[in-house]
Amino acid sequence: MSSVGGKVSLVGAGPGDPMLITLRAASILARADVIVYDRLANPVLLDHCRRDAERVFVGKEAHHHAVPQAEINRMLVEFASRGLHVCRLKGGDPFVFGRGGEEAQALSAAGIEWEYVPGISSAIAAPGYAGIPVTHRTHGSAFAVVTGHHDPARGFEVSRWAVRPEPRSTLVILMGAERLNALVDELLTGGWAPETPAALVSRGTLPSQKVLQGTLRDLPEQVRAVTGGRPATLSPATLIVGEVAGLSSELAWHRPGSLHQRRIVVTRPESQAQPLVNELESRGAVVLSLPLIRLRAVEPFELETLQQHWDWVVFTSANAVRFLREQLRACCLDIRSLPATARIAAIGRETARVADDVGLRVSFVPNQMNSEGLLREFPEPVARLKILLPRAREGRDLLAREWGARGAVVGVLPTYETVELPPTEQQIGSVILEPAADAVVLASGSAVRALAASLTAEQRAMLRVACIGDTTGREARRLGFGDLAIAEDPSPAGVAAALEGLLAVEQNGGTGPPEGPKGE
CA distance 277 to 66: 25
Task: Decide: 484 and 465 in contact? Cβ < 8 Å.
Answer: yes
For 149, residues 6+ apart whose C-beta sits below 8 A from its C-beta are 62, 157, 175, 179
CA distance 158 to 177: 13
Q: Could you tell me which of 262, 310, 294, 507 has the C-alpha nearest to residue 413? A: 310
Q: Regarding beta strands 150-151 and 464-468, do their DSSP bridges make them parallel or antiparallel, or are they unpaired?
A: unpaired
Going by the DSSP 8-state scheme, the letter that residue 203 receives in this structure is S
Any catalytic annotation for residue 356? no
CA distance 456 to 430: 16
Where would I find the H helices in 158-315?
159-162, 180-190, 219-227, 248-251, 270-282, 303-306
- Following CA atoms 416, 517, 428, 437 in sequence, which dihedral angle do they give, to the nearest 10 degrees? 130
Catalytic pick among 60, 210, 356, 397 = 60
Q: Could you tell me which of 406, 408, 394, 407 has the C-alpha nearest to residue 314? A: 408
Sheet holding 54-57, edge to edge: 54-57, 34-37, 85-90, 7-12, 113-117
Task: Decide: 468 and 443 in contact? Cβ < 8 Å.
Answer: yes
CA count, 13 A, side-chain hemisphere, 441: 34
CA distance 361 to 64: 51
Cβ burial of 241 (10 Å; 0-12, 13-18, 19+) is buried
Question: Residue 514, preceding bond cis, omega within 30 degrees?
Answer: no
Catalytic pick among 38, 438, 470, 489 = 38
Where would I find the H helices in 177-336?
180-190, 219-227, 248-251, 270-282, 303-306, 318-330
Sign of the Cα torsion 197, 202, 208, 209 reads positive
Going by the DSSP 8-state scheme, the letter that residue 49 receives in this structure is S
Any catalytic annotation for residue 60? yes
CA distance 385 to 390: 16
Q: Work out the number of other CB atoms within 10 angstroms of the CB of residue 359.
A: 12
Q: Could you tell me which of 225, 229, 243 has the C-alpha nearest to residue 170? A: 243
Task: Decide: 314 and 409 in contact? Cβ < 8 Å.
Answer: no
Catalytic residues: 38, 60
